[in-house]
Amino acid sequence: MITEIRDLPAILTAKHIANYLHISERRAYELMDLKSFPLIRLGRSKRVNRESFKRWLQENERSE
Q: What are the pLDDT digits (tens) for 4-55?
A: 899 999 999 999 999 999 999 999 999 999 999 999 999 999 999 999 999 9
Q: What is the C-alpha separation between 58 and 45, in angstroms, rounded?
A: 24
**Which segments of 1-64 are extended strands (E)?**
11-12, 39-42, 45-49
Is 0.85 surpassed by the pTM of this model?
A: yes
Three-state DSSP state, 46: strand
Q: What is the C-alpha separation between 2 and 24, in angstroms, rounded?
A: 15
